[in-house]
Structure 1
Amino acid sequence: MKKFDKDRLILGFAGPALALVVAFALSTLVLLISNRDPFELYRLLFEQVSYSDVQVLIINQAGTYYLAALAVAVGFRMNLFNIGVDGQYRLAAMVAALVGASVTLPGPLQIALIVIVAMLVGAFWAGIAGILKTTRGVSEVVATIMLNSISTSLIAWLILPTNFGDQAAGSNNLTTGEIPEAGWFPGLPLSPDAGEIYGFTFVAAGCGLVYWLVLNRTRFGFDLRATGASESAAQASGVDAKKMILTSMLISGAIAGLVGMPTLLGDTHTYSLDFPVGLGFTGITIALLGRNHPVGIALSALLIAFLDKASSPLDQFGFEKEIATIMQGLIVISVVVSYELVRRYGTRRQQQKVGEELAAGHALTTEKEAAL
């Protein structure tokens, strides 16, 4: 049994490790083909990490990515593909910013109100896809993609000055108005040059701990994983599969609602046309690379955040910033290929072990029969 656990642990690390090695090799090949020095690029990227301000930017971005990946991972553990995290967090952040700018409460209550509204909006938007799947059999992939488009249009309509938006004189930007200072989430100041780490980054780490505890130490988590592994088997054991599907989509959406909170409560204090987009799709990459494990997701979030922030000044040295995007795309491709190769190897390894155990049992039986 211990040996089996050891093999499973090795295979668990083999997938991400192989994916990173393949992505590194492919990135190097692409740079060589384009007549660029890959080692100079890698030197410049790692040089950026020595600057304290870049370190803070990486940590803050990683916290946001971590929440997005957790939202995706909850769906993955249920064998659901919630591709709508992007629309869920943007709509949640926008509505939460509207509420936060129009209501004034004592500090902790103001922050709690904004966070609760964001989670409720995210859960509601993801719940639409969950209801469509459980009642009409609509694929959650199709439903969430459509809901992403709808949320984009809905946000554009809500933020119009004729509705709920504000437009400063002489500016083309539209905002929801600024949240009062009582609703700002306190951060961890470092130095004047480095800035501060978003306070909500630590909340993101706490969400990862809750995610692990719920999935691995509760009956609900067991039912969720069992339903994801085999819906028919879960139903036969008394689990309401449809209820679990809807519940997991609601939880995934609620976590997605938190994705915009580090930026909203720690930096911009308003939702505008400049608010970050595309975080949900990055979360898919991170969840895959981290194999839906909170520690793996954290390391993957740091890696992707490193590529994002360390690549910003590359154009000053003759390298395009888009190289980091290419590297992230290569990581996605490498993850898919590497995990499939590791899965096939693991299957063959298990079959080999079963064959060896059967052969050993047959030999032992033969020896006993000979002795008799």
Structure 2
Amino acid sequence: MRKISFASPLVTPLVVFVVSLVISSIALLIPGYNPLEAYRSMVSNVATVSGFVTVLNFASRYYVMGVAVAIGFKMNLFNIGTNGQYQVAALFAGAIGGSLTTPGPVSIIITISIAMICGALWAIIPGILSVSRNVNIVVGTIMMNGIAAGLIGYFLRTWFRDKNDNLTAHTRTIPEGSRLPTLNFILDSVGIDVPKSTNLHSFVIIALCVGVLFYFVIYRTRFGFDLLASGRNAAAAKASGIDATKMVLVTMAISGALAGLAGMSVLLNQAFEYGDRFPLQLGFTGISVALLGRNSPTGIAVAAIVMASIEQGSRGLAVIGIPQEIGQILQGTLLVVAVVTYEVASRRAKTVAVQAASGLLPSREKSLHA
């Protein structure tokens, strides 16, 4: 009888999904809720045109943010500051973009460029501290998140505040002609009737382009080779002539720039202003997506769709009397189980490889992992 290997790329995600459902079901059963009813409601909320479009919109921003995190992770740079980077970028992009009088396409390019530049500059600060003062990247990026929160609160209530609104603090609204267009015409052209209140964001196309570039840069360029080499063995990479300082700074800048870009999905396609109601956890969701997708282009895409589907599906739980926070429990459980399971599978694969190399692996195990 063939033995199942938990190092299999097909078995591991299945184990993660099943275990997560079991744990979430227990969390539902304890207060007396019906797990099957909850999951049925979540699926029905996604399996509509409006739900499907919303999932694509959420997944596109999660994907770009996941790539922003994954680029750092691939070099063992744990950029935990993407949340602050994207918010600082959105603040400045919203403030300047709302004041532009240039033609629409030009304004869009300027606004996105400002966001990416601000995100890169904010991310490169902990990178500089790391290479010059040996400050841990995790500590540096977390502290920058705190600084970002304070600066945003100050600027939003002083220099960047829309003086025409005395009730809420927000930047000036992005002019209608300076917003990213919708893609509803594509769905209409194939006979899909989209509700008037639902718009397919053109940021989906930007996310697809980011995915293609991510794959090409990481696996088809010298920079990608240097990045992967530095992440796997920094000492060996440095000995081979790779400039470690340059790699840290460039990688952090790219990560921050992509974090800033991810925020444009909200600013230019949904909110059209930066304010107190702007989503605050996008950066942390990106970390979850990168971990769940194991930093691969396709894995991050699947993780982004899964996280977006859970978020959209949980929105209708309150209608049947179940707290929608169950969706957050499912997302968190999925992440924890995935990290643990992937680590177990990785260690098992390494053990098998070592045993095979040393000739200690039984012939049956060798055939299974050949």
Normalised by the length of structure 1, the TM-score is 0.90
Aligned residue pair count:
352
Paired with 2:346 and 2:86, the residues of 1 have a C-alpha distance of 33
For the aligned residues, what is the CA RMSD?
A: 2.0
What do the CA deviations read for 1:234-276 (whole angstroms, capped 9, x no partner)? 0111101121111100110010011110111112211111111
The residue correspondences of 1:15-30 to structure 2 (distance < 5 A) are 15-30=12-27
Question: What residue in structure 1 maps to residue 75 of structure 2?
Answer: 78
Letter in 2 for 1:191: V
The worse-fitting range, judged by mean Cα deviation, of 85-94 and 182-191 is 182-191
The equivalent residue for 2:162 is 166
Q: How does 1:336-351 map to 2 (within 5 A)?
A: 336-351=339-354
1:1-372 counterparts in 2 under 5 A? Answer: 11-160=8-157, 162-169=158-165, 172-189=167-184, 191-193=194-196, 195-356=198-359
CA separation of 1:223 and 1:8: change in aligned 2, threshold 3 A? farther
Specify the SS of the correspondent of 2:199. Answer: strand
Higher alpha-carbon deviation: 38-47 or 8-17: 8-17
* CA 115–261 in structure 1, closer or farther in 2 if over 3 Å, else same: same
Residue 295 to residue 156, structure 1, CA distance change in 2 (3 Å): same
CA contact (8 A) 2:104 2:177 kept: yes
**Aligned partners of 1:167 and 1:175 also within 8 Å:** no
Q: Is the 8 A contact 1:52 1:193 kept in 2?
A: no
Give the Å deviation of 1:50: 2.3
Other structure's SS at 2:316 match = helix
Alpha carbons 2:352, 2:361 under 8 Å: kept: no
Determine helix, strand or coil for the equivalent of 2:262: coil
Q: Quote the sequence identity (%).
A: 41
In 1, the alpha carbon distance for the partners of 2:354 and 2:324 equals 46
Measured in 1, the distance between the counterparts of 2:236 and 2:221 equals 19
Q: Which runs of 4+ in 1 moved over 6 A?
A: 7-10, 357-360
The DSSP-based 3-state class of the residue aligned with 2:8 is helix
Contact 1:11–1:346 (8 Å) recurs in 2: no
Unmatched runs of 5 consecutive residues or more in structure 2: 185-192, 364-370
Gaps of 5+ in 1: 1-6, 361-372
SS at match of 2:280: coil
Q: Distance in 2 between matches of 1:100 and 1:168?
A: 16
Shift of the 28–60 alpha-carbon distance from structure 1 to 2, 3 Å rule, reads same
Q: CA deviation at 1:187?
A: 1.3
Q: Following TM superposition, by how much is the alpha carbon of 1:359 offset from its aligned partner in structure 2, in angstroms?
A: 9.5
Deviation at 1:193, TM superposition (A): 4.0
> CA separation in 1, counterparts of 2:101 and 2:10?
48
**Structure 1 pair 352/48, CA: closer, same or farther in 2 (3 Å)?**
same
8 Å contact from structure 1 (residues 96, 118) kept in 2: yes
Distance (Å, rounded) in 2 between the aligned partners of 1:192 and 1:314: 21
Contact map agreement 1:75 1:248 (CA 8 A) in 2: yes
Aligned mates of 1:32, 1:61 — CA distance in 2: 29
Which has the higher mean CA deviation after the structures are superposed, 217-226 or 12-21? 12-21
Task: State the one-letter code of the partner of 1:178.
Answer: T
The superposition leaves residues 16-60 of structure 1 with CA deviations (integer Å, 9 ceiling, x where unpaired) of 332222211211222223322111111111111222111111111
Q: Classify 1:14/1:240 alpha carbon distance in 2 versus 1 (closer, same or farther; 3 Å).
A: farther
Single out whichever of 102-111 and 246-255 deviates more from structure 2.
102-111
Task: Return the alpha-carbon distance in structure 2 between the equivalents of residues 253 and 103 of structure 1.
Answer: 24
Counterpart contact for 2:123–2:256, Cα < 8 Å: yes
How far apart, CA to CA, are the structure 2 residues paired with 1:184 and 1:327? 34
Structure ID, larger Rg? 1
Measure the CA separation in 1 of the matches of 2:101 and 2:13. 46
CA distance in structure 2 between the partners assigned to 1:30 and 1:292 by the alignment = 29
Contact 2:86 2:261 in 1 (8 A): yes
Q: Is the 8 A contact 2:46 2:312 kept in 1?
A: no
